[in-house]
Amino acid sequence: MSDATSEKNNFNGVKVFSATMAQDRDKLGDKVTDWLRNNPQFRVVDTIVTQSSDEAFHCLAITIFYHEQI
């Protein structure tokens, strides 16, 4: 297993940010930035951005995997 893979697997917390409304999607990055700024004790090890949609809605999700020293 490579060092990059083992680093990504070394998490003990997950935070999901999601939005379906256009205005909320536009502000999603700011919410993530604020959360990161307010939680400097978390070391982010991976981030996944997911977009899905159907006829009526578009959903954007940002999933952050982090490690917190316990």
* Contact status, residue 11 vs residue 45, Cβ threshold 8 Å: yes
Provide mean pLDDT across the span 64-69: 95
Q: Which residue has the tokens 């993530």?
A: 32
Q: Which residues contact 66 (CB under 8 A, 6 or more apart)?
A: 11, 12, 13, 14, 15, 42, 43, 44, 45
- Higher-pLDDT residue of 1 and 69 is 69
What pLDDT, in 10s, does the model give residues 12-62?
A: 999 999 999 999 999 999 999 999 999 999 999 999 999 999 888 899 999
The pLDDT value recorded for residue 5 is 61
DSSP structural state of residue 32: H
The pLDDT value recorded for residue 56 is 83
